[in-house]
A = this chain, B = another copy of it.
Amino acid sequence: MVKVEGGVVAPKGFRAAAMNCGIKRKRKDIGLIVSSRPAVACGMFTQNRVKAAPVLVSKEHLKKMTAQAIIVNSGNANCCTGEEGLKDAYEMAGSAAKALGISNEDVLVASTGVIGRELPLDKIRAAIPQLIKDLSEDDGKCIAEAIMTTDKVTKEIAVKIKIKGKDVRIGAVAKGAGMIHPNMATMLCFITTDVNITRRALKLALSNAVDKSFNSISVDGDMSTNDSVIVMANGCAQNVLLDRKDADFKIFSEAIDYVASHLAEAIIRDGEGATKFVRIHIKNAKTLEGAKRIARRVSTSMLFKTALFGQDPNWGRIAACVGASGVMIDPDKLDIYLGKTRVLKDGVGSLKDKDALGKLFKNTDLDVTIDLNSGGKEYSMMTCDISLDYIKINASYTT
């Protein structure tokens, strides 16, 4: 696997364009990704019961199992907008489809931004001719820009692998900085690939990758109404059709894992106001479910996250989270490590040296290992601290 340039247009047969259509004041707020031919497609969407209109429309359109384009806007989530909002989302896909000369169901749609405001459909409709004119194989980054909300940096990646003797490319773009939590809180991710693959193999690769990446990160414990991860595989690499049981599926699957994990890490590193990047490792848990619950409890603890921000190695808060997770752990077997230094051994504080302790939270990148010594299951998660800037950003998002 080698990294290549180009983001979502790195794979053969994909073009993209983006521009400002007036939802935001100046920055790009609308983007279009188009495949030269119908692509096998699948998606994973928010598990929030309150789903934004574009999520409902994309899920509906994906029943066809193929797609040829994605249209996406930022600045407005088109959520809690009722029948009108749903009509707008269908119309957003329909307008793009009409201009591209493909069927409505072949266009997927995504939105991100403020909840509860009417989508300015006229502005979107008016932008479509220009977007189509601007479609290019050269620039994937424009999409990364067009989907940013509170993101400080663009997030994209592309890799090249060999599948059955042919070069295959995978490109991807993501957005997300706040409202990030397992089950994909406010994040969008579009993955393009020119692999020739069955839909069930594509679906399996996507769901494995999402589980290990976007479902294993938490910025603030909130889950959005608009999360969407979509993958389109157009077969332009002309490899012999890849299925789940092929030996090469592992190579493809690992590449998707890599791409998704890279973007998930980028989201956490760009976490709203984040000053620390933390991997939480749960070891020797009785069950995987238990390990996940503990990792999520720690990664959403305000007290842990503020201690991180303050570089205050208050490991007692980590122990308190483990105990509060609802998992039946044995507190007398609990070990906690900050980096490689053990601070809790058999449930008892084991590092008395305050100076040594004080240094443990100084690094920007940190590992916290929680060893339950009770079984063989492991789980890891990425998270960040909660800083003064997080509060500042989120205290005035709509005003």
Name the B residues within 8 Å of A387 (CB-CB).
391
* Interface 0/1 of A176-189, CB less than 8 Å to B: 00110100010000
Report the Cα distance A206→B321, complex, angstroms.
26
Name the B residues within 8 Å of A83 (CB-CB).
348
Q: Chain B nearest CB: distance from A285 CB in Å?
A: 13
- Interface 9-residue window, one of A46-54, A87-95, A256-264: A46-54
Q: Is the CB of A319 within 8 A of B225?
A: yes
- Interface 9-residue window, one of A27-35, A139-147, A310-318: A310-318
Is the CB of A112 closer than 8 A to any CB of chain B?
no
Report the Cα distance A133→B357, complex, angstroms.
40
Is the CB of A328 closer than 8 A to any CB of chain B?
yes
Q: Is the CB of A222 within 8 A of B324?
A: yes
* Interface 0/1 of A294-313, CB less than 8 Å to B: 00000011110011011111
- Please name the residue on chain B nearest to A183 by beta carbon: B324
Name the one of B115, B179, B316 contacting A79, with C-beta atoms under 8 angstroms: B316
Question: Per DSSP, are chain A's interface residues mostly helix, strand or loop, or mixed?
Answer: loop
Q: Chain B nearest CB: distance from A164 CB in Å?
A: 42
Determine how many copies of this chain the complex contains: 2
Q: Is the CB of B312 within 8 A of A399?
A: yes
Q: Chain B nearest CB: distance from A380 CB in Å?
A: 21
Report the Cα distance A225→B319, complex, angstroms.
9
Residue total for A at the interface (Cβ-Cβ under 8 A) = 73
Is the CB of A208 closer than 8 A to any CB of chain B?
no
Is the CB of A338 closer than 8 A to any CB of chain B?
no
Is the CB of A129 closer than 8 A to any CB of chain B?
no
Chain A positions 158-210 with a Cβ under 8 Å from a chain B Cβ = 178-179, 181, 185
Report the Cα distance A92→B234, complex, angstroms.
72
Q: Is the CB of B398 within 8 A of A320?
A: no
Is the CB of A392 closer than 8 A to any CB of chain B?
yes
Report the Cα distance A302→B185, complex, angstroms.
13
Name the B residues within 8 Å of A323 (CB-CB).
48-51, 223, 225
Q: Is the CB of B222 within 8 A of A310?
A: no
Given contacts A320-B223, A331-B51, A348-B82, contact A312 B388 (CB under 8 A): no
Name the B residues within 8 Å of A312 (CB-CB).
395-399
Q: Is the CB of A349 within 8 A of B49?
A: no
Is the CB of A322 closer than 8 A to any CB of chain B?
yes
Name the one of B82, B225, B325 contacting A346, with C-beta atoms under 8 angstroms: B82
Q: Is the CB of B306 within 8 A of A117?
A: no
Name the one of B49, B307, B327, B347 contacting A322, with C-beta atoms under 8 angstroms: B49
Is the CB of A131 closer than 8 A to any CB of chain B?
no
Q: Chain B nearest CB: distance from A45 CB in Å?
A: 12
Chain A positions within 8 Å of B, measured between CB atoms, are 47-51, 77, 79-85, 114-117, 178-179, 181, 185, 220-225, 300-303, 306-307, 309-317, 319-325, 327-329, 331, 334, 343-344, 346-349, 358, 386-388, 390-392, 394-399
Q: Can you list 6 A-B contacts (CB < 8 A)?
A: A49-B331, A83-B348, A85-B348, A114-B314, A310-B397, A358-B399
